[in-house]
Amino acid sequence: MVTLHDLAAQLLLHSLTSALVVEALIRRLPIADPSTRVRYRTLVLVLPVLLLPLAWAFPERLSVASWHRMLFFSPAWDDVQIAGVGLRTAGLAVAAVLGLALFARDLGREVHVWRRDHDAVRLGPRAPLDDENIPRAARTMAERAGTPVPLIYLVDTPHPVLSCHGVWRPRIAISRSLAAMLTPPQLETAIAHEVAHIARRDVLTHWLLLGLRAVQWFNPIAHLIARRLGQELEWRADDDAVRMTGSAVPLVKALVASARARGAEFLGLLGRGRIHAVEERCRRLLNPRPDEPLPAGHYAWTSAALVGLLWFVV
Amino acid sequence: MVRQIRFIGILATSALLTAGGLRVADALPPWLLGTPRGFVVYDTLAEATRDLRTRLLVPAFFPSDLAWPPARIVRAPGEGRPSLVAFTDQRTGAERLLVAQCVDGDCEFPPELLAPLENAPVRRILSGGFEADLAVSTSSAWREVRGERLGRRVIVRFEGDETTLLRMARSLHREGS
């Protein structure tokens, strides 16, 4: 009898397989364009979730024999015991704990940002917009990106905050401290970055990603891929901002200034990772890698290969 | 065209290496344990019936010192779907009755499913209309009958007396029927 436990294990295996193939493709081809990377990573997140319910359309797929033919499903995996627990059960338990920890951490951050945004919206209309540069930059960049001009909310916090929100009513929250810290060209390019997120509907993408992660909360691979995808959404917005403003240097300076101002937030266990992410963004902005064009139909080829691999091989 | 070929080459290599790597990792525990991959272990006879789409043969005559339900139900890979149902002793928990059968009529029983009975001279017997070969081990208390029952090649191996073994072999029927 196929159990929920088995289904979770299969989803995990499918995630691992597709993540390995896509990572190999991104590195070997290589794929430098963040938009293409985002599409490939999305495939890794979506495909295992889509394939799982398909098994019910093919009852043979749910038979014990068919299940045992899949990788990591032979009973031998539970015959190897560590402290009385089968290797497969132990592996699944470790994956679930890791997955839950990663998801809980990111969800906590989401809640924190949502609350901060909520406060900004509440305080925003009353806060006088004394810096004319911000609405002017937002207007110019929105015109260049071909999107409606977003609402600007000022947040009264000492932390450097600049983020976009709202799926249907786009708005940009900016902290007074950051607005004071950045020079006009830096502020313009930072606003351009947020406008790029709005133009690409990244806020919606972000919530959809969170939903996909919630469905597979036990899957650490999905959470790591989603984090990577989040970084690549930032890269894509960076590239768009550079295209809109014509120079990468102010954006790099704005990123460094913002990272420096965060100080304490960048300390701790994940601080190194955050600093590394900022460094990586700056490096790729200053030394953009030429992107080799991919052949027509590359995405369809990859999708078909992954479906075949997941359905028939693993 | 060159770009297309390069892309497909990298995609195929990535997929093959990933699948190959995962298959090697998957083969490790069976290799460590000495159990070949491809064996299907069922928890219950009902599960085996659902999967095989036929009922396995089990003895209707069942000595009271054997434990029901079966302790082990295994299907080996290969033509004819060789399968094994194993029963244990009520008291010791050791396996005492093994019923190997070819679900699709005829097949070879792989040694990993049922190891050959060593030092066991064979003689032809006819018992209650059941014609079979009887092999009796000279070095242990195991004996087995090999024949055909309900259109399937079967081997019934038992650690015990010959009369009980033959009664069990004659009484083989499709479980649940």
pLDDT band, residue B2 (cuts 50/70/90):
confident
What element of type H or E holds B165? helix B162-170
pLDDT at A266: 54
> For the residues of A6-58, what is the DSSP string, one character each?
HHHHHHHHHHHHHHHHHHHHHHHTT---HHHHHHHHHHHHHHHHHHHHHGGGS
Cβ neighbours of residue B125 under 8 Å, at least 6 residues apart?
A: B131, B132, B133, B134, B145, B166
Q: How many angstroms away from the CA of A297 is the closest CA of chain B?
A: 9
pLDDT band, residue A189 (cuts 50/70/90):
very high
Instruction: Enter the tokens of residue A182.
Output: 């950045």
How far apart are the C-alpha atoms of B42 and A65, rounded to whole Å?
Answer: 9
Contact B88, B94 (CB under 8 A): yes
Substitution target from B32, B40, B52 for chain A, most A beta carbons within 10 A: B40
Q: Which residue of A has its CA nearest to B41?
A: A75
How far apart are the C-alpha atoms of A27 and A19, rounded to whole Å?
Answer: 12
Asked if A242 reaches chain B (Cβ–Cβ under 8 Å), the answer is: no
- Map tokens 């295992």 to a residue: A48
| Cα distance between the two ends of chain B | 63
Q: How many angstroms away from the CA of B110 is the closest CA of chain A?
A: 18
CA angle at A55 for the pair A50 and A60, rounded to the nearest 5°: 160
Q: Which amino acid belongs to residue B80?
A: G
CA-wise closest residue to A256 among A157, A186, A158, A172 = A186
At A3-32, the pLDDT tens digits run 788 888 889 999 999 999 999 999 999 999
pLDDT band, residue B36 (cuts 50/70/90):
low
pLDDT band, residue A314 (cuts 50/70/90):
confident
Q: With b meaning 16 or more CB within 10 Å and e meaning fewer, what string describes A114-131?
A: eebbeebbeebeeeeeeb
Q: How many angstroms away from the CA of B58 is the closest CA of chain A?
A: 21
Q: How many C-beta atoms lie closer than 10 Å to residue A263's C-beta? A: 11
Q: Which residue of B has its CA nearest to A62?
A: B51
- Map tokens 């009887």 to a residue: B134
Q: Would the CB atoms of A74 and B18 count as touching at under 8 Å?
A: no
Nearest-by-Cβ selection for B11 from A25, A69, A80: A25
Asked if B19 reaches chain A (Cβ–Cβ under 8 Å), the answer is: yes
Q: Would the CB atoms of B12 and A305 count as touching at under 8 Å?
A: yes
Nearest-by-Cβ selection for A314 from B8, B22, B41: B22
CATH number for the segment(s) B40-174? 3.30.200.100
Nearest-by-Cβ selection for B10 from A20, A28, A79: A28
Task: Report chain B residues whose CB lies below 8 A from the CB of A87.
Answer: 29
Weakest-pLDDT range from A7-21, A70-84, A97-111, B157-171: A70-84
pLDDT at A126: 52
* Sign of the Cα pseudo-torsion (A150, A113, A106, A188, in order): positive
Q: Which percentage of chain A shows pLDDT scores above 70?
A: 89
pLDDT at A231: 94
pLDDT at A253: 96
Nearest-by-Cβ selection for B15 from A1, A21, A292: A21
Q: How many angstroms away from the CA of B131 is the closest CA of chain A?
A: 33
Q: What is the mean pLDDT of residues B62-76?
A: 92
How far apart are the C-alpha atoms of A283 and A278, rounded to whole Å?
Answer: 9
Counting one residue from chain A and one from chain B, the pairs whose CB atoms sit within 8 A come to: 95
Q: How many angstroms away from the CA of B29 is the closest CA of chain A?
A: 6
Weakest-pLDDT range from B25-34, B65-74, B119-128: B25-34
Q: Would the CB atoms of B42 and A64 count as touching at under 8 Å?
A: yes
Task: Report chain B residues whose CB lies below 8 A from the CB of A293.
Answer: 3
Q: Would the CB atoms of A16 and B11 count as touching at under 8 Å?
A: no
Which ipTM value was assigned to this complex? 0.84
Nearest-by-Cβ selection for A64 from B22, B37, B47: B47
- Spatial strand order of the sheet with A162-165 comes to A151-155, A171-175, A162-165
At A233-290, the pLDDT tens digits run 999 999 999 999 999 999 999 999 988 887 655 555 556 777 888 999 999 999 988 8
pLDDT at A89: 87
Q: Which residue of A has its CA nearest to B14?
A: A21
- Distances in Å between the Cα of B138 and the Cα atoms of A183, B116, B142 are 96, 14, 9
Q: What is the mean pLDDT of residues A77-85?
A: 79
Task: Enumerate residues 8 to 37 of chain A having a beta carbon within 8 A of any beta carbon in chain B.
Answer: 13, 16-17, 20-21, 24-25, 28-29
pLDDT band, residue A292 (cuts 50/70/90):
confident
pLDDT at A13: 92
pLDDT at A109: 87
Task: Report chain A residues whose CB lies below 8 A from the CB of B14.
Answer: 20-21, 24-25, 28
Residue-level length of chain A? 314
Asked if B2 reaches chain A (Cβ–Cβ under 8 Å), the answer is: no
Contact B157, B143 (CB under 8 A): yes
Nearest-by-Cβ selection for B19 from A69, A293, A314: A314
CA-wise closest residue to A312 among A90, A69, A7 = A69
Q: In sequence order, which ranges of B34-161 are alpha helices (DSSP H)?
A: 45-52
CA angle at A274 for the pair A273 and A278, rounded to the nearest 5°: 115
Q: In sequence order, which ranges of chain A are alpha helices (DSSP H)?
A: 4-28, 34-54, 64-69, 76-79, 87-123, 133-145, 176-181, 184-199, 202-215, 220-245, 249-262, 271-286, 298-308
CA-wise closest residue to A195 among A159, A235, A143, A121 = A143
- Number of helices (H), then strands (E), in chain B: 3, 10
Q: How many angstroms away from the CA of A215 is the closest CA of chain B?
A: 25
pLDDT band, residue A128 (cuts 50/70/90):
low
pLDDT at B35: 63
Report the Cα A199 to chain-centroid distance in Å: 17
Higher pLDDT, A77 or A198: A198
How far apart are the C-alpha atoms of B107 and B120, rounded to whole Å?
Answer: 21
Q: Average model confidence (pLDDT) for chain A?
A: 87
Weakest-pLDDT range from A253-262, B33-42, B130-139, B142-151: B33-42
Asked if B33 reaches chain A (Cβ–Cβ under 8 Å), the answer is: yes
Higher pLDDT, B26 or B143: B143
Contact A285, A242 (CB under 8 A): yes
Q: Average model confidence (pLDDT) for chain B?
A: 89
Substitution target from A21, A62, A306 for chain B, most B beta carbons within 10 A: A21
* Sign of the Cα pseudo-torsion (A108, A111, A112, A113, in order): positive
